[in-house]
Amino acid sequence: MDLQTIALALGGEVYGRQILAPGPGHSPRDRSLSVRPNPRAPGHLLVHSFANDDWRACRDHVRDRLGLAQGAGTLHHEAPGPSSPPADTAARTANALWLWGEARDPRSTRVEAYLQHRGLILPEEAAGTAIRYDNAHPFAGQRTSAMVALVRDIRTNTRKAIHRTAISWSGNWKVHGKDRLALGPIAGGAVKLTPDEDVTTCLGIGEGIESTLSLRLVPEFGPSPVWSLLTASGVAHFPVLSGIECLWIAVDHDEAGLRARPAYSSVLSNACDLAHFEPALWRIEPQRSARVSAPFKSSAD
């Protein structure tokens, strides 16, 4: 059987060299079951569940859907590693979106407590649509409470990745030395804390979710739309978007953020076709609260 035939039988889709399909008992939109052809495996197929479903149930499910006899074409189970995603980019995106679907509304959870600890407010428009909570998220080979953010393509708005922050009730913490991880391609993407349809002429951008949200503590900025671009490179390469007349940039107060300030100035000039801009620094304190040093903004005359 070719990949398309297998995908059709399983109700799934071809991603690279594998099929991602609904696991046994999951909804038609689920993509937690991976099936990969492998000539070295018994039955020439490897079966793996990202949802940690019983491998025997997955094997029987695939065999039944493909019409394989019990004794013929025995499927081989691909033993799971520490929740490691497939190498293929499209499959990583599919795995990321499945994990996003497993996360829940962040209100009244550790996510809200974490943001409050940082002196920030969870935006109502982002709760559940751009930010979610998972109390047992696969992270750096373990499971932890995490703030899960959806990454969309800046121009097309296509869902493409997720960004995870390991958190506790009192703040973020590290798992095997890591406190933040992305899954899927984030270049050219943003955590759109404000949806596209609510962005008009003013937009605030920044690296981290926290520093971007800190813009809303500036009275002049108020509840204006905000997008987190996750990396200094993401901010430095922010594209020109039609209709944006006023752009604010939250600069992370670390070496990378300060080093990127000249590039950020170029972004402001290109994005707004400016006659002038006022270089300054917006700072978020890493401990308990967000505080302003000065806004870094620009607007057209």
Expressed in angstroms, the distance from the first to the final Cα of the chain is 63
Please list, in sequence order, all residues whose beta carbon lies within 8 angstroms of the beta carbon of residue 63, skipping any fewer than 6 positions away: 70, 73, 75
**Higher pLDDT, residue 43 or 10:** 10
Q: How much is the average pLDDT of 120-133?
A: 96
- pLDDT class for 232, splitting at 50, 70, 90? confident
- Coil/strand/helix, residue 119: coil
Element (H, E) at 257: helix 255-259
**What are 80-109's pLDDT values in tens digits?**
444 444 446 777 888 898 899 889 999 999
pLDDT at 20: 82
Q: How much is the average pLDDT of 19-48?
A: 81
Residues in a beta bridge with 150 = 162
pLDDT at 266: 61
Q: What are phi and psi of 120, to 5 degrees?
A: -120, 165
Q: How far apart are CA 202 and CA 219, in angstroms?
A: 14
**Higher pLDDT, residue 6 or 292:** 6
Task: Tell whether the model's pLDDT for residue 280 goes beyond 80.
Answer: no
**Higher pLDDT, residue 109 or 257:** 109
Task: Tell whether the model's pLDDT for residue 121 goes beyond 80.
Answer: yes
Share of the chain above pLDDT 90, in %: 33
C-alpha distances out from residue 227 to 95, 125, 157, 201, Å: 23, 12, 12, 14
Asked whether 76 and 47 are in contact (CB, 8 A), the reply is yes
Q: What are phi and psi of 266, to 5 degrees?
A: -65, -40
Segment among 218-222, 266-270, 290-294 with least mean pLDDT: 290-294
**Which is it for the CA torsion 61, 65, 66, 72, positive or negative?**
positive
Share of the chain above pLDDT 70, in %: 74
Domains and CATH numbers, the chain: 3-80 (no CATH), 94-191 (no CATH), 199-299 (3.40.1360)
pLDDT at 133: 96
Segment among 141-150, 189-198, 264-273 with least mean pLDDT: 264-273
Q: How far apart are CA 288 and CA 127, in angstroms?
A: 22
Residues in a beta bridge with 206 = 228, 250
- pLDDT class for 44, splitting at 50, 70, 90? confident
